Amino acid sequence: MNAHRQIVIIITLLVLTGVSMITYKHRVLGFPLFATDTETVWNIESRLEFKALGGPVKVRINLPDSVSGVEILHGSEVSSGYDSGVERDHGMDFYQWSRDDALPGQQAVFLRNEVFFREVPVVTQEKPPLPITPELNEVATQVQKDFSDANAKSGAKEKNLVLKILRELNNPASEHLGVLLRDARRRSEQLQLAIDLLAMEGIAARMVRGVLLEDRQNNRSALFMLKVWLDGQWQLFDPRESSSVAWDSFIIFQEGTTPLFEVEGGENSSLRFSVLREQRASFITAVEAARNHRSLLVDFSIYSLPVAQQGTFKLLLLMPLGALVVVILRNLVGIRTSGTFMPILITLAFLQTGLLIGLLLFIMVVGTGLIVRSYLTRLNLLLVPRIAAVLVVVIIIYGAIGIAGHKLGFEWGLSVTVFPMIILSWTIERMSILWDEEGAHEVLIQGGGSLLTASLAYALMSNQIVADSIFLYPEALLVLLAAIIAIGSYSGYRLSDLRRFEPMERY
């Protein structure tokens, strides 16, 4: 197999692999195509306070059930001294804190949930059986029969019926239900009444508790809601407002007979919720969701690293972009640079100093270095000691710029230290030789070429969208590699060839 065919095959494989991985992450894992997309994330903090009796303590908070279209992440609970984690019992998930030797007194544990919606959920799962007509006392039966007859006459639709019942429940002077409401003061009792009434109409309903998703809610207790099976799906109703509630504005923490929270070894417990709305880049939530699902592609990727190392890799992932810029400028455009990949290292320094200050510092250091180096030429030193001497001079220049800048109030002078000093020493050495042999003109061409390359690479690498996107899809590196290989086997003209062979047009 000849080299050309191998190159074509490798390029095809790389592009196919890269593009299909990107497509998979986008389509299946729900990664956004560009890192600019943002989405709403609800931060729900549950704070469970109790008075410990001393001795072993076990605390549980029931966790929201997973519903398709909703991602709920648990974690970052701040509760010192407790062992904590997600536990599963009788098919229900809950978060548990336990401790063998809690001091008596007030204690608090925190659970932080992050909730975001891929789409507005439609809850059709778990179709309920037809409700059994409840056994009630005589008064209640009579009241309900009257109520039911009245409804039959008015011919209200099922949804309106639910709303009507809720409205009646909020009205203690209700014509029909007033009698029953006298015995049902508590919200849960009222809702049970509603459920019974609906059951008589053949409508299944359940009581749920949870948190209403509204921004900047603090210190709220769990709210009761009514979940009703209507038109082939569950719908939520708010008993206070007598209105229906969309599924993306309420998170259910408790349903049916499971307790909302349990405290063993404590008393006087209370659970309070705070809700905060946050708008953030959707790729962050996508990455977290994919981690939550233990997707292989994400589990064995840089996202599985600790956050600090991810930051390092985020920078490393940008290097190939700089390399691509160098390859394009050298092999397609034909710009001459001083040292092949020196511009990338300069770019890395620019990323920390900013472009203008970086350029200024570079020119200051290299310019001063060249002056000193031209004197060293006369001293007739051997090569390695000479470069070592240049290195020392470079460090002195760093110090001078830093201190002078500080004294004059230019704090940016201190950022000179991010420049790679060995590379700068070699650059000074190489430019000095170039100056002697080819003249100042060539030094300006190569120095300017290097800075132009570094500036273009900077423009690309400092772009937040580019940085986030490549972090989001590291697979794009395969496509980048394919592009570099393709340019590496390009035997056509460079832009500079077209310029230098321009006289050939006249022949």
Partner 1 sequence: MFGLASPLHLRRKGVVGMNKRNFIYIAQSNPRHLYPRVDDKLKTKLLCAQHDIPVPRLMGVCRVQRHIKQLPDFLADESQFCIKPAKGSGGKGILVITERQGNHFVKPSGVHVTEEEVARHVSNILSGLYSLGGKPDVALIEELVQFTSDFDGFSFEGVPDVRIIVYHGYPVMAMTRLSTHASDGKANLHQGAVGVGIDIATGRALKAVQHARPISEHPDTGRALNELVIPCWDEVLELAAKAFEMTELGYLGADIVLDRNRGPLLLELNARPGLAIQVANGRGLEPRVKLAAKQAANEQLGVKERVSYSREHIAPL
Residues that bind partner 1 (CB under 8 A): 331, 334, 380, 382-384, 433, 437-439, 442, 488-507
3-state secondary structure of 117: strand
Beta-sheet strand order (sheet of 70-75): 70-75, 105-117, 38-52, 266-281, 217-220
Is 376 or 470 the residue whose CB approaches partner 1 more closely?
Answer: 376
Q: Is the CB of 293 or the CB of 500 nearer to partner 1?
A: 500
The distance of closest approach from Cβ of residue 497 to partner 1 in the complex, given in angstroms and rounded to an integer, is 4
Q: In the bound complex, what is the minimum distance in angstroms from residue 342's beta carbon to partner 1?
A: 15
Shorter beta-carbon distance to partner 1: residue 5 or 27: 5
Tell me the closest approach of the beta carbon of residue 334 to partner 1, in angstroms.
Answer: 7
**Minimum CB distance to partner 1 smaller for 276 or for 495:** 495
Q: Which residue, 279 or 380, is less far from partner 1 as judged by CB?
A: 380
Task: Specify the residue, 240 or 500, whose C-beta has the smaller distance to partner 1.
Answer: 500
Q: Cβ of 161: how many Cβ atoms within 10 Å? A: 20
Q: Using an 8 Å Cβ cutoff, are 46 and 110 in contact?
A: yes
CB neighbours of 196 closer than 8 A, spacing ≥ 6?
A: 134, 136, 140, 144
CB of 367 to partner 1, least distance (A): 22
Taking CB atoms within 8 Å and a gap of at least 24, the contacts of 127-136 are 127/229, 128/204, 128/206, 128/229, 129/204, 130/202, 130/204, 131/198, 131/199, 131/202, 131/203, 131/204, 131/205, 132/199, 133/199, 133/200, 134/196, 134/199, 134/200, 136/196
- Least distance CB 333 / partner 1 (angstroms): 11
**Quick one: which of 169, 173, 161, 235 has its CA closest to 198?**
161
> Residue 313 or 426: which CB sits closer to partner 1?
426
State the nearest-atom distance from the C-beta of 305 to partner 1, in Å: 37
Which distant-in-sequence residues (6+ apart) come within 8 Å of 345 by Cβ? 420, 423
Considering the complex, what minimum distance in angstroms separates the CB of residue 421 from partner 1? 18
